[in-house]
Amino acid sequence: MAEDLSSIAGDYLGDILDQPRALEDTFQKLASSTVLERLAEDLNDGRFHRLVLTGMGSSFHALHPLNLDLVSHGFTSLMVETSELVHYRSRFFDPKTLIVAVSQSGQSAEMIRLIEMNRSGCPVIAVTNTEQSPLAMHASTALLTYAGTEFSVSCKTYVTALVVLKWLADILCQRDLRRSRRELKDAAPAAAAYLSEWENHVRSLVRQLKDVRHLFLVGRGASLAAVGTGALIVKEADHVHAEGMSSAAFRHGPLEMLRNEMFVLVFSGDVKTRALNERLSNDIRQQGGRAELVGENATLECFRLADHGSSLRPVLEMLPVQMITLALALSAGRKPGQFLVATKVTTTE
């Protein structure tokens, strides 16, 4: 008998299913500006010594693909959590630093402190879902996501931020933005195609995750965005232990923890390290552990992603993790995405 999914209906599920709309609205409003183009020119002319990419929670994890893109282009780019930046790396606040600050609300405690700390006038590029937020008003220029109101756990704000950050990468690297649009235009249709089967995905995952008490998400490169955010939203949405780390780090200790109640989700990721990730998944199974791959060649349909290239892979990688949060909630008989202690905007450091 098919599971009754009515127990997981609600605002969080509504936000997940609203992602194609949010992605399309954000894509349609992608734009550059004179300020942004001037900052890109200054960056490429060597007037900035470094880029500092900063955020907290999922906003921080979303910066992984941008960071890799900038480093590959030859820039000195550093990812620093905003709390660490303002308290321990304040020397980065100088006019030779270009800051990219990501915050869905634009008013978290750490972002307010960043604004207060930035007395030297570092140029700041903000990426936010809130146009009138303190961060957007303080920034040299702001790129907006158009996710709309979000109930609790980051889902549509996260995937739309990934699209905007890819767009920002192409502007800073002075690439052809017509090509960027071609690469990003399929974000909404691809998400809609995957989510059209959400009920089947959830039911499949209920069976796959039976008796699981510990969930590990592992990957490499740009997939570290899904690894970090995925573990975070499982904890937020389901109050279930989940840990995200690199595939390489998993071999340095956690491999010893393999038990039947532990499930390892391995992101295949980019072709550059795909064979290494696939080997890890196989090794886990050979040791009697439970592991599945997420990617274009995944065995299970709920983990199989359409191949839209590296630009959209980080967006699509988050969708199976969202299905996991629904499946865990269904198995536990609880509503997913309901905060008991946390709040949507973190206003206390």
CATH number of the domain at 314, please.
Answer: 3.40.50.10490
Cα(203)–Cα(123) distance, integer angstroms = 48
Residue 60 belongs to a domain: yes
Write down the pLDDT at residue 121: 84
Based on the domain organization, do 37 and 165 belong to the same domain?
yes
Residue 133 belongs to a domain: yes
pLDDT at 1 over 60: no
Residue 3 belongs to a domain: no
Based on the domain organization, do 167 and 92 belong to the same domain?
yes
pLDDT at 51 over 70: yes
Model pTM greater than 0.95? yes
Based on the domain organization, do 121 and 249 belong to the same domain?
no
Based on the domain organization, do 258 and 157 belong to the same domain?
no
pLDDT at 146 over 80: yes
H or E segment and range at residue 51: strand 50-55
Last residue of a domain, one of 153, 185, 217: 185
Residue 193 belongs to a domain: yes
Based on the domain organization, do 56 and 163 belong to the same domain?
yes
Based on the domain organization, do 163 and 32 belong to the same domain?
yes
**Exposure string for 108-141, b = 16+ CB within 10 A, e = fewer:** bbbbbbbbebbeeebbbbbbbbbeebbbbebbbb
> Pairing relation of β-strands 214-219 and 124-128?
unpaired
Q: Domain limits at 292?
A: 189-332
**Exposure string for 253-268, b = 16+ CB within 10 A, e = fewer:** ebeeebeeebbbbbbb
Residue 337 belongs to a domain: no
Give pLDDT tens digits for 78-112: 999 999 999 999 999 999 999 999 999 999 999 99
Write down the pLDDT at residue 119: 82
pLDDT at 29 over 60: yes
CB atoms within 10 A of CB 250: 20
Last residue of a domain, one of 127, 159, 185: 185
Q: 32-40: long-range contacts at Cβ-Cβ below 8 A with a sequence spacing of 24 or more?
A: 32/171, 32/177, 33/141, 35/140, 35/141, 36/125, 36/141, 36/143, 36/171, 37/171, 39/98, 39/123, 39/125, 39/140, 39/141, 39/172, 40/171, 40/172, 40/173, 40/174
Reference 107, options 128, 85, 84, 80; nearest CA is 128
Based on the domain organization, do 125 and 217 belong to the same domain?
no
Cα(123)–Cα(44) distance, integer angstroms = 15
Cα(257)–Cα(289) distance, integer angstroms = 9
pLDDT at 31 over 70: yes
Residue 172 belongs to a domain: yes
Based on the domain organization, do 217 and 317 belong to the same domain?
yes
Confidence of residue 69 (pLDDT cuts 50, 70, 90): very high
Mean pLDDT to the nearest integer, 304-310: 97
Based on the domain organization, do 175 and 207 belong to the same domain?
no
Based on the domain organization, do 178 and 193 belong to the same domain?
no
Number of domains in the chain: 2
Based on the domain organization, do 196 and 64 belong to the same domain?
no
pLDDT at 53 over 90: yes
Residue 149 belongs to a domain: yes
Residue 346 belongs to a domain: no
Give pLDDT tens digits for 32-44: 999 999 999 999 9
Based on the domain organization, do 176 and 233 belong to the same domain?
no
Last residue of a domain, one of 132, 152, 185: 185
Q: What is the CA radius of gyration of the chain?
A: 20
pLDDT at 156 over 80: yes
